């Protein structure tokens, strides 16, 4: 199974970018968008000058609990920039959502309480709410996280969306909100 098939099998359809989208990002935005792949993990991330965005982090079921996720995040933290990621809210019928949230909390990530994130999936046409988690080495503000998420949405999530999907994602101001 290749890297995309592993991600596609693990992540819900409404959270997945198409393979073409991810390949274009890697090829055309390779100075920003990266893939770190090993036998038991896949990490897709964007590195901007002042922050990192984790797009997907996957550790195979057989390797969970062996510290791979921790090592991947430590490698990212060594860059000394805020790290942002999107995670689905806890669904008590899906124990993986709770485990993911606990894992990120253990790793020092906090929930950006002032940022709302609601995006319509082009695959399912349903609106999905996500939570923004972040790790900030210098106590960066949620306002900075919000601006960084807007940049991520515009440069990564909606990159060539019309060309790839035949339609565009919502405008960033319809997806992300900030409440002071």
Flag whether pLDDT at 175 surpasses 90: yes
pLDDT tens across 99-148, in order?
888 999 999 999 999 999 999 998 889 999 999 999 999 999 999 999 99
CA dihedral 10, 136, 26, 175 (to 10 degrees): 70
Q: Write down all domains in the chain, each with its CATH number in brackets.
A: 3-178 (3.40.630.30)
**129: three-class secondary structure by DSSP:** strand
Rounded mean pLDDT of 146-163?
A: 97
- For 83-116, what is the HEC assignment? EEEEECCCECCEHHHHHHHHHHHHCCCEECCCEE
Number of residues written out for the chain: 180
Both tokens of residue 71?
């090592």
DSSP single-letter state for residue 14: G
Given this model, what pLDDT does residue 5 score?
95
Flag whether pLDDT at 35 surpasses 70: yes
pLDDT tens across 70-92, in order?
999 999 999 999 999 999 887 76
Q: Give 1's pLDDT tier (boundaries 50, 70, 90).
A: confident
Given this model, what pLDDT does residue 98 score?
80
Q: Give 97's pLDDT tier (boundaries 50, 70, 90).
A: confident
Given this model, what pLDDT does residue 159 score?
97
Q: State the pTM of this model.
A: 0.95
Both tokens of residue 117?
């994130």
**What is 35-102 written as a DSSP string?**
EEEETTEEEEEEE-SS-EEEEEEEE-GGGTTSSHHHHHHHHHHTT-S-EEEEEPPPBTTBHHHHHHHH
Flag whether pLDDT at 29 surpasses 90: yes
Rounded mean pLDDT of 59-68?
A: 88
Q: Which residue has the higher pLDDT, 4 or 96?
A: 4
Q: What is the mean pLDDT of the chain?
A: 94
């Amino acid at each position: 199974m290749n890297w995309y098939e592993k991600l596609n099998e693990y992540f819900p359809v409404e959270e997945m970018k198409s393979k073409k989208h991810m390949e274009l990002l890697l090829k055309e935005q390779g100075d920003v968008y990266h893939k770190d792949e090993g036998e038991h993990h896949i990490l897709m991330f964007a590195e901007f000058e002042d922050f990192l965005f984790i797009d997907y982090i996957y550790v195979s079921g057989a390797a969970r609990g062996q510290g791979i996720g921790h090592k991947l995040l430590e490698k990212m933290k060594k860059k000394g920039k805020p790290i942002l990621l999107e995670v689905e809210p806890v669904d008590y019928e899906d124990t993986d959502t709770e485990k993911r949230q606990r894992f990120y909390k253990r790793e020092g990530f906090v929930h950006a309480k002032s940022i709302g994130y609601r995006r319509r999936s082009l695959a399912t046409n349903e609106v999905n709410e996500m939570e923004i988690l972040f790790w900030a080495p210098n106590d960066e503000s949620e306002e900075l996280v919000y601006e960084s998420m807007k940049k991520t949405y515009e440069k990564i999530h909606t990159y060539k969306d019309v060309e790839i999907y035949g339609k565009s994602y919502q405008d960033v101001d319809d997806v992300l909100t900030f409440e002071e």
